[in-house]
Structure 1
Amino acid sequence: MKKVRIGVIGAGLRGGLSLYWHKPEGESEIVALADISEERQQKYQEKIGTPIFLTKDYKDLLVRDDIDAIAVLSPDYLHEEHVIAALEAGKHVYSEKPLAITVEGCDRIIDAWEKSGKHLMVGFNMRYMSMYQTMKGLIDSGAIGDLKAVWVRHFVGFGGYFYYHDWHALRKNTTSLLLQKGSHDLDVIHWITGRYTTKVSAFGGLDYFGGDMPNDLTCPECSLKNECPEYVPHTFTECAFRKEVDVEDNNMLIMELEGGVKASYLQCHFTPDYERNYTFIGTKGRIENDDVNDKVYLKTRKTGTWNEYSDVTYDMKPEDGTHGGSDPKIAQDFIELILRGKQPLTTPFAGRMSVAVGCAATESIRSGGVPITISQQSSFIKN
């Protein structure tokens, strides 16, 4: 194979990622799109620039011989169905995170992948961001000694716009936002530390969004739109304070990782700012990021060596491409995986484990904070 011909399922929120694969004179090309919206189909066709096959039914892509790989960019609750169907049809698959919205769903996907003989890649693009690669490199180098603790705070300043005006706000579609939004952070904790979570206790609540507004109310139709702080005029317009909203808008997790490393993760969707703050503490110092100003700080403690005499600030260099330059990198790694067998920075099992933590933490929250043990063993019983 000299070129990977890709069919895309879903031209919505993450549809833009697929544009990095469209290189008709190169090693990858978008040849088809499945999306239930004709309007999104036409807008996507205009962006691509060259004629592609368009359909509302994703199954039409699976029977085509001119498609080698499927990019699953559909809503979370459809990932399991779409990924398994594509693998069983003999296609390589790129799946946006989360891999599924249940651990059992992830296990069924991994089972289908192992049987298919095809490649499966999960879209953890934060592993491709220079900031987090820098932090991982410093920790792996021993710059802070033996890692002991991790603190992560995620201020989701656009939480209402991103997650409470559409399907994300319902448990049946997401399980919780610890899978949708939190899966990135939980994965980065696992990746940078090199350890998976074994136990979690969590608290959270729906303390701002939701309420008693009608489920069919949209922002443009609302009489309160001129005074509502969550008013949005376009794209996602379902009322963020509608009755059916049942997904927590703030979460606090305490985790124990393999080897006894302790970690905490805090997420809030009604803060005024947008920021991810990571701190890793070891026996010789700590590192902390500032993603607003694109910096990583290395601070050292008294060690009796030259290291204690200075702290170091790392300035991230600007990179081209969306999501801090990570999207073109992760898109290229999918092509490298298929054409040359180069292993990407992420794995399907890592996708499974971030979902496992999100699901366990959600169970803990909805059970009053009880500790939940997380197993790495498949919950899928093979025949």
Structure 2
Amino acid sequence: MSKIKVAVVGCGAIAQRRHIPEYAANPNVELVAFADPVTERAEKMADTYGGKAYASYEELLKQEKVDAVSVCTPNYLHASVTIAAANAGAHVLVEKPMAVTAEEGEQMIEAARKNGVFLMVGHNQRLMPPHVKAKELLDSGKLGKVLTFRTSFGHSGPEGWSVDGRGSWFFRKEEAIMGAMGDLGVHKSDFIRHLLNDEVSEVAGFIGTIHKEGTDVDDNATCILRMKSGAVGTLVASWTQYKSGDNSTVLWCENGVMKIGTNRGDEVIVELRNGTVETYKVGAMATNEKQVPSGVIDAFVESIVNGTPPSISGEEGLRSLKVILAAFESQATGRIIKL
């Protein structure tokens, strides 16, 4: 089989650290083009990995015939780049949040459908080994029904991660639209939906900018979620968890408790009411400091190779986005928002 020709649009941190190296490591892929308005970044990637550099995605799509595109741009461009790539006949992997409005998300899904291409959203949390193990254990039924939960994702902020540091687009409202919620919260709304195999029915959100100076994007959010099943829990997204961040989830169930990512070394812990305790060493989660393969790129490539729609589809990305948008609406109106 001939290799899948891939282009990457946006050559910042997520592209440099995850997408591009993971494509390069995949034997089914040929990286053919890179686009970034900071042309040196695109050129550096082209020099390192081969292929051509472009200053704009429009020019790239005009000049190159690619099979697939990774969209690693600031949030406000996700929809326009995705739709343009789909219209050019390319499969699309878009970073999260897939879009900044529900309407955009729907337009992206429609563009992919109309052009007969796949749309996948980079919700890598589903694929982290501890999360895969936790889902397997929960699905086995040994814990019974989930009653309450908490899920949290926090670190010290994008200044330590972004290639532009404190000058990053993450802090510019017109480009990011949302802060910690778009960066981290949407990962957790996606993960909890996936883990519980359930949908969010109601959301209350407390969202604000507590500590990051000179920005009006949110740096913290604490949300209360009620699921369709009746389970109730909290979702936290934070850019001010200095020194030691958090990517943990705890589920209190009929038959005991499951702790995910709470204890270094034992990534999943199940404590049952009958006294048994099970611990699973299944490998760590990726963090900004310690990159482990995300699994997202390989899953995307596998979908294309086998012609099977990605499980982390545009529709899934949109459902997870709608939870976050509802939390913002709750903060703005002071009401509980029904989904």
TM over 0.5: yes
Distance in 1 (CA, whole Å) between partners of 2:189 and 2:284 is 25
Partner of 2:270: 298
Distance in 1 (CA, whole Å) between partners of 2:326 and 2:63 is 39
Distance in 1 (CA, whole Å) between partners of 2:186 and 2:283 is 26
Instruction: Point out which structure has higher relative CO (alpha carbons under 8 A, 6+ apart).
Output: 1
Does the 8 Å CA contact 2:147/2:253 hold for their aligned counterparts? yes
Deviation track 1:217-261 (CA, whole Å, cap 9, x = no partner) reads xxxxxxxxxxxxxxxxxxxxxxxx22xx11222211011112222
Counterpart mapping for 1:1-383 below 5 A: 2-16=2-16, 17-22=19-24, 26-48=27-49, 50=50, 52-64=51-63, 66-158=65-157, 161-162=160-161, 165-177=167-179, 178-209=181-212, 241-242=213-214, 245-272=215-242, 273-290=244-261, 293-294=264-265, 295-301=267-273, 308-317=274-283, 325-327=292-294, 329-368=295-334, 370-374=335-339
Does the 8 Å CA contact 2:158/2:168 hold for their aligned counterparts? no
Which deviates further from its counterpart, 129-138 or 52-61? Answer: 52-61
Q: Secondary structure at the match of 1:90?
A: coil
TM superposition shift of 1:324: 5.8
Distance in 2 (CA, whole Å) between partners of 1:37 and 1:285 is 52
Does the 8 Å CA contact 2:43/2:52 hold for their aligned counterparts? no
Deviation track 1:6-35 (CA, whole Å, cap 9, x = no partner) reads 1111111211222221269x3111011111
Letter in 1 for 2:193: H
Distance in 2 (CA, whole Å) between partners of 1:162 and 1:62 is 29
Percent of residue pairs bearing the same amino acid type: 26
Letter in 2 for 1:299: E
Distance in 1 (CA, whole Å) between partners of 2:84 and 2:199 is 29
What runs of 5+ residues in structure 2 fail to find an aligned partner?
Answer: none
Does the 8 Å CA contact 2:97/2:182 hold for their aligned counterparts? yes
| Structure with greater Cα Rg | 1
Distance in 1 (CA, whole Å) between partners of 2:174 and 2:185 is 17
TM superposition shift of 1:67: 1.4
Distance in 2 (CA, whole Å) between partners of 1:149 and 1:341 is 38
Does the 8 Å CA contact 2:46/2:52 hold for their aligned counterparts? no
Residues 263 and 309 of structure 1, relative CA distance in 2, 3 Å threshold: closer
Does the 8 Å CA contact 1:69/1:91 hold for their aligned counterparts? yes
Q: Secondary structure at the match of 2:194?
A: helix
TM superposition shift of 1:309: 3.3
Distance in 1 (CA, whole Å) between partners of 2:231 and 2:331 is 22
TM superposition shift of 1:65: 5.3
Which deviates further from its counterpart, 156-165 or 172-181? Answer: 156-165
Letter in 2 for 1:179: G
Distance in 2 (CA, whole Å) between partners of 1:76 and 1:292 is 32
Distance in 2 (CA, whole Å) between partners of 1:67 and 1:104 is 27
Q: Secondary structure at the match of 1:309?
A: coil
Residues 154 and 113 of structure 1, relative CA distance in 2, 3 Å threshold: same
Distance in 1 (CA, whole Å) between partners of 2:143 and 2:322 is 29
Residues 290 and 169 of structure 1, relative CA distance in 2, 3 Å threshold: same
Does the 8 Å CA contact 1:71/1:94 hold for their aligned counterparts? yes
Q: Secondary structure at the match of 2:333?
A: coil
What runs of 5+ residues in structure 1 fail to find an aligned partner?
Answer: 210-240, 302-307, 375-383
TM superposition shift of 1:321: 11
Does the 8 Å CA contact 1:202/1:361 hold for their aligned counterparts? yes
RMSD: 2.3
Distance in 2 (CA, whole Å) between partners of 1:201 and 1:318 is 31
